[in-house]
Amino acid sequence: MRIVPFGAAREVTGSCHLLQAEGRRVLLDCGMFQGREEAKNQAPFGFDPKEVDAVVLTHAHLDHVGRLPKLFREGYRGPVYATRATGLLMRIVLEDALKVMEEPFFGEEDVEAVFHHLKPLEYGEWLRMGDLTLSFGQAGHLPGSAFVVAQGEGRTLVYSGDLGNRQKTVLPDPSPPPRADLVLSEGTYGDRAHRPFPATVEEFLAILGETLAQGGKVFIPSFAVERAQEILFLLYENGHRLPKAPIYLDSPMAERVLALYPRLVRYFSEEVQQYFLEGKNPFRPRNLEVVESAEASKALSHEPGPMVVIAGSGMLTGGRILHHLKHGLADPQNALVFVGYQPRGGLGAEIIARPERVRLLGQEVPLRASVHTLGGFSGHAGQDELLEWLSGQPRVVLVHGEEEKLLALREALALRGQQASLARWGEGVSINLALG
Ligand SMILES: [Zn+2]
């Protein structure tokens, strides 16, 4: 058995790993490179797509599925296995990617090809390919997210995909993996634990309470998949603690995901499932208003507060949030609340450093609104959770993280007597130590 990383090696995006065992070649994820790494999407995969026998997907984030259409464009015709939730979310994610890509490296027909070859694989089911078997465990990162267990040639491999933040309440906790000969694990937050989630929620509610009480607007830049809905869930559960104000979901993509959620009930935590059982949708607070057209969104940016505005893009790389900020950042009564990761060098990081003025959509805007960063909303396991999930695993190869973070995790694993190394692009790792 052998695993070869072709992405997310000492970086966060582009997850794509080729598993070879029992004479089969199975691709685990086929993600897009994003941000600084974007140009790499145009480069060859590093293997021949026509020689891949099957694709298995861990979850619907673009950095795990975004190069799938390219795989079909380059001749792949085999099955794509994913949970039903992953398949449904992936359609929204890939269609949006096609719309916003500046240098498209696939077309509509390639996206359609992916869905023609999609096959469901649920938690606990076994996919048998000759003597190679694969199955999913709960990863708790997105609805339908999974880690992969592969068994063949007398060896066991576990691939983590992305592991969720166990402190949060919308999704189930990640399940513990079986003991494996090798674990290919993410290490996004390999260097630190997250702030306790209840404290994050209290801080979030305090900012909203204060801002809305003084008639201000709260701007929440958010990813359209999962984070926006999670914020709505918190507003649903805690609405009685906040001054009355409309909540605007100003993201058609987030609304598409929201509309899908009632079909995905069994993929959520028991707490969320209980609400649906009682006939309630806990992702739609009573004062929620969905903003559909771009014109309505622009008009909203001229309306007075109090209000909450949830809009994309989550990293301020574009989208409707920009005109809300352009019209709202000069007002000291308003608040900008970051609930997602802001990459170094991006507009979000620039605003967090609190300059006197910010350039937005070609205009200089004085920054007088308050700015808050709430790291506790992270959708990834913190270092403490990663260590617990990996406990007892003798051999770990780290992917999906910046090099410093992976090195910190390797160090922490070494202190526990666990052997860990950092993956390199295209460099295969052989798994020939049988389970003792
Ligand atoms: Zn992810």
The SS3 assignment for 300 reads: helix
Q: In one letter, which amino acid is 115?
A: F
The helix/strand/coil state of 307 is strand
- Would you say 212 and 220 are in contact if contact means Cβ atoms under 8 Å apart? no
Which residue is associated with the tokens 């072709």? 6
CA of 162 to the centre of ligand 1 (A): 5
Q: How many CA atoms lie within 13 A of 278 on its CB side?
A: 9
| pLDDT confidence of residue 341 | 86
For residue 192, the CA-to-ligand 1 centroid distance in Å is 18
Would you give the DSSP letter of residue 179? P
9: DSSP letter: S
Closest CA relative to residue 64, chosen from 147, 135, 122? 147
CA of 140 to the centre of ligand 1 (A): 10
> How far does the centroid of ligand 1 lie from the alpha carbon of residue 249, in Å?
22
Q: What is the mean pLDDT of each run of 10 residues along the chain (436 residues)?
A: 96 96 98 91 97 98 97 98 98 95 93 98 97 98 98 97 96 98 97 94 98 98 96 97 97 97 98 98 98 97 97 94 98 97 89 97 97 94 97 97 96 96 96 60
Give the tens place of pLDDT for each residue, 297-341: 999 999 999 999 999 999 998 999 999 999 999 999 999 999 998
**Ligand 1: distance of its center to the CA of 400 in Å?**
10
Question: What is the end-to-end Cα distance of the chain in Å, rounded?
Answer: 16
pLDDT of residue 433: 56
Q: How many angstroms separate the alpha carbon of residue 280 from the centre of ligand 1?
A: 28
Q: Which two tokens stand for residue 361?
A: 């959509």
DSSP 193: P
Q: How remote is the CA of residue 218 from the centroid of ligand 1, in Å?
A: 26
pTM of the model: 0.95
CA of 292 to the centre of ligand 1 (A): 26
Domains of the chain in sequence order = 2-192+379-430 (3.60.15.10), 197-377 (3.40.50.10890)
- Give distance in angstroms: CA of 401 to centre of ligand 1: 12
Predicted local distance difference test score (pLDDT) of residue 435: 44
d(CA 282, CA 272): 7
> Residue 274 Cα, ligand 1 centroid: separation in angstroms?
25
Please tell me the distance from the alpha carbon of residue 222 to that of residue 228, in angstroms, as a whole number.
Answer: 6
| Cα–Cα distance measured from residue 397 to residue 392, given in angstroms and rounded to the nearest whole number | 14
Distance 186 CA to ligand 1 centre (A): 10
H helices of 239-330, in order, are 252-260, 270-277, 294-300, 321-328
Q: Three-class SS of residue 71?
A: helix
* 397 DSSP β-pair partners: 184, 421
As a whole number, the mean pLDDT across the chain is 96
**d(CA 64, ligand 1 centre) in Å:** 7
Report the alpha-carbon distance of residue 424 to residue 6 in Å, rounded. 8
What strands, in cross-sheet order, belong to the sheet with 288-290?
288-290, 247-250, 307-311, 217-221, 335-338, 370-373
d(CA 116, CA 144): 20
Per DSSP (E only), the strands in 105-145 are 118-120, 127-129, 132-138
Q: How many CB atoms lie within 10 A of CB 6?
A: 22
What is the CA(87)–ligand 1 centre distance, in A? Answer: 14
pLDDT digits (tens, 9 = 90+) for 340-389: 988 888 899 999 999 999 999 999 999 999 999 998 999 999 999 999 99
Report which secondary-structure segment, H or E, holds 206: helix 197-213
> What is the whole-number distance in angstroms between the Cα of residue 341 and the centre of ligand 1?
12
